[in-house]
């Protein structure tokens, strides 16, 4: 079954990249992973004091009740209608497992997060990418006309990775109303914009929201995500989810971060400021189109230059960005994750010299 399957493009490790360039790993700047440039040190310190008391010989509480309470406090969603997961990716996996199978279709606005296709196809479902409009808005007419009685899931991403734009709530509402199939909204980057489809959960039982602590909370390595849905859907998902996919130490870390949210808010504010500052600079550079972003990354189109060459030149300087130029829908584009001011300055300086060098 996996013979013709195109897998996830695994990112090489920083050590591998450094070795291939012949430089030290600490000289590599990762701007390709959409993670936070800072770790929540206070949360790490706090749980390091508790770590010896964690009963690692036992399974964690299978109902994750403490973590659900803290997510509930953060989201104001009923704790009984929350499912913590091993990252948002596991949430996508579980939902796909429940709603997709051979003969069923998954719809998504493309380009979008590549794992949607993988999770769908691994279920044997047919993945249908509905191309976005110019400017990357979801094509609501094409989405609606592509829905039929075989549609098991509609996968939306807001803000969308890699384009950074939002799906308007009106679009989500339209889709929820017009179809009986489940509508997933992946809000991995929610904290960078504050816009959520959550209010629609009261009205539509077919809506499922997926979030993560991997981005704004700076906890990518702890692998904590969660699902917000209605009680009925949560009952269904609980039947199919693995009983113990979260580690006790990571649960503690997530709970501390959720209860001390000032750190996250400061980190988000800094990144959003940097995003707008960088967008201003980049937009003034000749031959670059920088798309507006509601997330922690920018999508940049190189209008006159080969984006592959820009990517290679950045890499040669130890700066890793995501090269999306092979995809016809993002031809000529690179995606850059915002870092700290100093890191963003390093990118700007490198880009300036590369554009000068390649433009000659």
Residues at the site binding ligand PLP, with contacts judged by CB under 6 A: 34, 87-89, 113, 157, 161, 186, 188, 212, 214, 220, 225
Q: Select 85 or 354, whichever has its Cβ closest to ligand PLP.
A: 85
The residue at minimum Cβ distance from ligand PLP is 87
Rg (CA), the chain: 21
Least separation in angstroms between residue 86's CB and ligand PLP is 8
Q: Select 8 or 357, whichever has its Cβ closest to ligand PLP.
A: 8
Closest C-alpha to 280, from 298, 305, 268, 301: 298
Q: Select 113 or 192, whichever has its Cβ closest to ligand PLP.
A: 113
Q: Select 29 or 354, whichever has its Cβ closest to ligand PLP.
A: 29
Angle, CA 5 vertex, CA 212 and CA 85 arms, to 5° = 20
Q: What b/e string do you get for 211-225 counting C-beta neighbours within 10 Å, with b at 16 or more?
A: bbbbbbbbbbebbbb
Would you call 94 exposed, middle or buried from its count of C-beta atoms within 10 A (0-12, 13-18, 19+)?
buried
Q: Select 75 or 317, whichever has its Cβ closest to ligand PLP.
A: 75
φ/ψ (deg, to 5) at 20 = -70, -25
φ/ψ (deg, to 5) at 51 = -60, -35
**C-alpha 266 chain-centroid distance:** 20
Lookup: tokens for 296: 């922690």
Alpha-carbon span 316 to 226, nearest angstrom = 38
Least separation in angstroms between residue 358's CB and ligand PLP is 29
Least separation in angstroms between residue 297's CB and ligand PLP is 9
Least separation in angstroms between residue 165's CB and ligand PLP is 13
CB count in 10 Å sphere of residue 360? 5
Q: How many residues does the chain have?
A: 360
Least separation in angstroms between residue 305's CB and ligand PLP is 26
Q: Select 212 or 330, whichever has its Cβ closest to ligand PLP.
A: 212
Q: Select 220 or 348, whichever has its Cβ closest to ligand PLP.
A: 220
Are the C-beta atoms of residues 355 and 45 closer than 8 Å to each other?
Answer: no
Alpha-carbon span 324 to 346, nearest angstrom = 21
Least separation in angstroms between residue 204's CB and ligand PLP is 21
Residues in contact with 32: Cβ distance below 8 Å, sequence separation at least 6, in sequence order: 11, 320, 321, 322, 335, 337
Q: Select 172 or 354, whichever has its Cβ closest to ligand PLP.
A: 172
User: Which residue's structure tokens are 């007419």?
Assistant: 141
Least separation in angstroms between residue 224's CB and ligand PLP is 7
φ/ψ (deg, to 5) at 267 = -60, -40
Are the C-beta atoms of residues 28 and 16 closer than 8 Å to each other?
Answer: no
Least separation in angstroms between residue 187's CB and ligand PLP is 8
Alpha-carbon span 208 to 249, nearest angstrom = 27
Least separation in angstroms between residue 337's CB and ligand PLP is 9
Q: Select 216 or 350, whichever has its Cβ closest to ligand PLP.
A: 216
């Amino acid at each position: 079954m996996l013979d013709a399957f195109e897998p996830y493009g695994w990112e090489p490790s920083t050590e591998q990249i450094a070795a291939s360039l012949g430089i030290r790993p600490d000289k590599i700047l990762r701007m390709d992973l959409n993670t936070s440039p800072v770790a929540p040190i206070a949360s790490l310190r706090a749980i390091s004091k508790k770590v010896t008391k964690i009963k690692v010989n036992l399974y964690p509480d299978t109902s994750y009740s403490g973590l659900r309470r803290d997510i509930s406090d953060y989201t104001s969603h009923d704790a009984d209608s929350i499912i913590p997961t091993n990252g948002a990716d596991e949430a996508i996996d579980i939902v796909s497992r429940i709603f997709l199978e051979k003969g069923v279709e998954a719809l998504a606005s493309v380009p979008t997060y590549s794992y949607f296709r993988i999770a769908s196809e691994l279920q044997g479902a047919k993945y249908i990418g509905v191309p976005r409009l110019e400017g990357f808005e979801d094509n609501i007419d094409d989405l609606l006309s592509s829905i039929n009685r075989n549609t098991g899931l509609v996968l939306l991403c807001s803000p969308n990775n890699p384009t950074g734009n939002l799906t308007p709530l009106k679009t989500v509402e339209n889709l929820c109303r017009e179809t009986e199939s489940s509508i997933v909204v992946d809000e991995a980057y929610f904290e960078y914009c504050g816009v959520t489809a959550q209010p629609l959960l009261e009205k539509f039982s077919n809506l499922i929201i997926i979030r993560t602590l991997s981005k704004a909370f700076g906890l990518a390595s702890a692998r904590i995500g969660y699902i917000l849905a209605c009680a009925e859907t949560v009952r269904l998902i609980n039947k199919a989810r693995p009983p113990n996919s979260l580690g006790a130490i990571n649960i503690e870390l997530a709970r501390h971060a959720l209860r001390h949210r000032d750190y996250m808010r400061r980190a988000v504010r800094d990144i959003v400021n940097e995003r707008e500052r960088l967008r201003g600079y980049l937009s003034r550079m000749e031959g670059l189109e920088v798309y507006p972003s509601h997330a922690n990354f920018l999508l940049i189109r190189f209008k006159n230059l080969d984006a592959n060459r820009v990517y290679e030149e950045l890499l040669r300087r130890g700066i890793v960005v995501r090269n999306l130029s092979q995809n016809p829908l993002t031809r000529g584009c690179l995606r850059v994750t915002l870092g700290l001011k100093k890191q963003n300055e390093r990118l700007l300086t490198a880009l300036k010299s590369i554009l000068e060098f390649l433009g000659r």
